[in-house]
Amino acid sequence: MSAIEHSFQKRFPTTSPRGRRPVPIRVLFALELLKHELGASDEDICQRLRTDFAVMYACGLRDYQVNPSQAHFVLPETLCEFRSRIDETLMDELIAIQAAVAMEEGLVSPAHLVIDTFPCEQGSQRVTDATTLYKAQKKTLELIVRITPQCRSRATTLTNQAQSLHQEIKKVMRCFGRQCRGQGHVFVKLVRHTEQKLLELGEPITALGQQAQQLLAQATALSDATRARFAEAFNAAMHNHAHIRQQSTRLIQGKKAPPL
Amino acid sequence: MSAQFGHKPGIVSDPATGFLFASRVPEGNPSDPSYVLPLLDKVQKAIERVKTPQRPRVHSLAGDRGLNDTALRQTLHARGILTVGIPKTVEPITPNPSPEEVRDILTEAGLNRQRTPHQVHLACACGYSRPVVESHIASLLSRGAGQVRYKGHPGATVQLGMTAMAHNGAVVVRIRQQCLSKRAQKFRRLLGLRHRKINEINNPKN
């Protein structure tokens, strides 16, 4: 563990002694390993660190509620941040350290090796009605954010509104993802609840889209071809959004989706 | 290649215990022989970290018929590594080669003065075995390596790396507790790996 800590210290040196003490590398590293060993999500493992003595012990925390660095309280975001700092080189180094220690202790030998490959799939997004609605909303907002600054230099209000709305709906989807991971299943009730929230939050999207369309129609800085291309993309996004929004509204009211 | 189609990680492990020495998640879907040398380089880096006076060395390498490549074999022989564990045909590898066969293997590899007949015997016994490799892969899959949950290629590298480390931790615990198969115990004995009786007091009783 000291070799791993040294490796991290070398790569990410402490530049200033000020500020809150960091969560020890050992705790974060142990949590990451335990996460895979127990098949838990970030939130689950961070919660277990607070409540499960076995997890605390595995993280090297022998005392409870006396550690001034508050290592018992690791947020899932901290774990995510820690993970994002690990790149391929560091990961190889960590495995090499582990293998070297095992070889030094005479536990394993690299004399005879076997190589093989195996396929693994990229985790797919949950395809639910809520995700479809989110994607439609996201696409429209992204178009607004991309197109409006090109139409007029002082369209910041509209852009800011679209950006903040995008952030809000992103939060809802993150919350949905966490709830699904926590329960291990996607429940219809959860999907409908998320859809309801997205519909409520996404109400201004139609108005924002119309404003953006007006701006686009008045934009003289753009060439005709560009304007036509943007207008086509916008119309398609708005049409899809309206259609999916209508479907979701029916679904949350307990009605069946209309036939395609 | 886009990440939406998944990844094809490569692993290099000890056939006896299943300890993973290195893993690699390449971008795209390269050929199997292209995995070998980068993985061996990673193993070599791990060996260089060992501080014992006698540094371990790689004697042989096994793999499926996907690795049956003449250029690769020559490169491995040049590194002093036996390739008897990589089958050339669908016929199974002879686990107990005769002295003549051993001599032929060493002559073909040009490793007469580097590798001993004992090492050739062990290499043949450690030849590619699908159930053995499958057990290592199954252990990784049970720890979530089958579906990459982190984003993109860097995410896949981190997830597989962490899974490999968690797997290695479990292997080390199994070795310490002597929870190994008879085959693994025999291999360890033949490789001269000692079992340290950490739970027993070795002091004289009187």
As a whole number of angstroms, the distance between CA B14 and CA B34 comes to 20
Q: Which residue has the higher pLDDT, B6 or B200?
A: B6
Domain coordinates in residue numbering, chain B:
3-190
The residue-averaged pLDDT of B176-197 equals 80
Lowest-pLDDT range of A230-234, B48-52, B146-150, B192-196: B192-196
pLDDT greater at residue B53 or residue B116: B116
Q: Which carries the bigger pLDDT value, residue B76 or residue B203?
A: B76
Q: What residues of A are in contact with residue B126 (Cβ under 8 Å)?
A: 112, 114
- For residue B197, pLDDT over 70 is answered with no
Q: What pLDDT, on a 0 to 100 scale, did the predictor assign at position B35?
A: 93
Output the pLDDT for position B205.
55
Which chain A residue lies closest to B59 (C-alpha atoms)? A111
The predicted-structure confidence for B79-114, as pLDDT tens digits, reads as follows 999 998 888 888 888 878 888 888 988 888 888 888
- Chosen from B168, B177, B187, B195 to mutate, greatest number of chain A CBs within 10 A: B168
pLDDT confidence of residue B47: 93
pLDDT of residue A63: 66
The residues, ordered by sequence, that sit 6+ positions from B148 with a Cβ below 8 Å of its Cβ are A120, A121, A122, A123, B3, B6, B7, B155, B156, B159, B160
Q: Which of B158, B176, B198 is the mutation pick for testing A, counting most A CBs within 10 A?
A: B158
Q: Is B12 on the interface with A (CB under 8 A)?
A: yes
Chain A interface includes B133 (CB < 8 A): yes
pLDDT at residue B4 tops 60: no
CB-based contact, B189 to chain A, within 8 Å: no
Interface contact flag, B56 A110, Cβ < 8 Å: yes
From chain A, pick out residues whose CB is under 8 angstroms from the CB of B136: 116
Calculate the average pLDDT of chain B: 86
Q: Which of B4, B62, B146 sits opposite A120 (nearest CB)?
A: B146
| B interface test, pick of A2, A26, A116, A127 with most B CB neighbours within 10 Å | A116
Q: Does A99 touch chain B (CB under 8 A)?
A: yes
Q: In tens digits, what is the pLDDT along chain A, a chain of 260 residues?
A: 777 777 777 777 777 778 877 788 888 989 999 998 888 888 888 888 888 888 888 888 776 655 555 656 788 888 888 888 888 888 999 999 999 999 988 889 899 999 999 988 876 556 788 888 998 999 999 988 888 887 766 667 888 889 999 999 988 888 887 777 666 666 788 888 889 999 999 999 989 888 888 888 888 778 888 888 888 888 899 998 999 998 888 888 877 665 55
Quick one: average pLDDT of B147-156? 86
How far from A178 is each of A175, A188, A202, A253, B93, CA to CA, in Å?
A: 5, 15, 21, 25, 50
This prediction has a pTM of: 0.72
Tokens describing residue B179: 């929870």
Q: Is the pLDDT at B22 greater than 90, yes or no?
A: yes
The ipTM (two decimal places) reads: 0.89
Q: Which residue in chain A has the smallest CA separation from B30?
A: A117
CB nearest to A109's CB, from B123, B154, B193: B193
Residues 139 to 198 of A: which have CB under 8 A from any B CB?
A: none
Q: How confident is the model at residue B2 (pLDDT cuts 50, 70, 90)?
A: very low
Residue by residue, DSSP assigns chain A as -HHHHHHHHHHS----S-SSPPPPHHHHHHHHHHHHHHT--HHHHHHHHHH-HHHHHHTT--SSS--TT-TT---HHHHHHHHHT--HHHHHHHHHHHHHHHHHTTS---SEEEEEE--BEEPPPP--HHHHHHHHHHHHHHHHHHHHHHH-TT-HHHHHHHHHHHHHHHHHHHHHHHHHHHHTS--HHHHHHHHHHHHHHTTHHHHHHHHHHHHHHH--SS-HHHHHHHHHHHHHHHHHHHHHHHHHHHHHTTPPPPP-
In chain A, residues with a C-beta closer than 8 Å to the C-beta of B12 are 113-115
CB contact A25 to B (< 8 Å): no
